[in-house]
Amino acid sequence: MGALWKDESATTALEYALMIALIVMSVVAGYRSIGLIIADEAAAGTDGIGNAGAYRPAGPASALGAAGPMGAGAP
């Protein structure tokens, strides 16, 4: 049993395993946060595309209101 406590190769292997686990967790967290940022940007971009048909420029047609160019009594 004393030989196991004095052997440091297992300790070194455990330290490397823990470091690799921490690095992997950091990389996964980084990719997730980048993925969320990209998803937010993509959603913001599609919001603008979805409302593209709602744009109505101000001009003579909008000044006439609901009556239209022929007036309220037009057939």
Residue with more model confidence, 66 or 40:
40
> What digits encode the pLDDT tens for the residues 8-50?
777 788 899 999 999 999 999 999 999 888 888 887 776 656 5
pLDDT of residue 71: 52
Cβ proximity of 27 and 21 under 8 Å? no
- 50-61: average pLDDT: 58
Distance CA 43, CA 48 (A): 9
**pTM (two decimals):** 0.46
DSSP state of 1: -
What residues does each domain of the chain span? Answer: 1-43
Cα dist from 58 to 2, 12, 43, 63, whole Å: 88, 73, 28, 8
Task: Indicate whether 67 pLDDT > 80.
Answer: no
What tokens does 2 get?
């004393």
